[in-house]
Amino acid sequence: MTGMETIIDWIYAHQAMLSWLTFFSVLTFIGSLIVIPVLIIHIPEEYFLHEKRNPAAARKDHPGLRLLFLIVKNVLGVLFVLAGIAMLVLPGQGLLTILIGIMLMSFPGKYAVKRKIVMQKQIFKMINRLRVKANRPPIRVDSAGEGDG
């Protein structure tokens, strides 16, 4: 049995799993085409203005609901990261899926990572171009670091 026959046998043995991964890949790609621009448009223009994120005002949500939301959001984030890693070798938008997963998860330093990504020159231009098309003011960052990259 050659290496190619082994691969083909593996594919036939795992058709259902590969079908689901392909479906999830297509769904993630289409969803990202819709969700990412919506999220970019709704970011407050001053969100990245400071080096450190200002803590949100005390929320009036029930603590149990907040905890449940945090758990669900982080579990989804981990699932997206794992699916994205799988999509690096299978069909799909692996890097994009990993990025969505990271954005969903909560971890120390997440704001600094997001800010560093947004401040890359090409990304900064693309975000603001999208916001201008949606009649939203451009994202602002401190003038010392605006659009670095």
- For 6-40, write each residue's pLDDT tens digit: 888 888 898 998 888 888 778 877 877 787 788 78
Structure tokens at 67: 């905890």
Helix crossing, 15-42 with 63-87: angle to 10°?
Answer: 120
How many helices (DSSP H) and strands (DSSP E) are in the chain? 6, 0
Instruction: Assign 142 to helix, strand or coil.
Output: coil
Maximum distance among all Cα pairs of the chain, rounded to whole angstroms: 64
Q: Are 70 and 106 in contact (CB under 8 A)?
A: yes
User: Residue 54 has what pLDDT?
Assistant: 65
pLDDT digits (tens, 9 = 90+) for 54-84: 666 556 678 888 899 999 999 988 988 888 7
Distance CA 146, CA 118 (A): 9
The pTM of the full predicted model, rounded to 2 decimals, is: 0.60
Closest to 139 in 3D by CA, of 114, 110, 113:
114
Q: List own/partner pairs for 63-68 with CB under 8 A and 24 or more apart.
A: none
pLDDT at 48 over 80: yes
Structure tokens at 43: 């970011």
Distance CA 44, CA 4 (A): 52
User: Residue 136 has what pLDDT?
Assistant: 94
**H-assigned helices in 43-141:** 63-87, 94-104, 110-118, 121-133
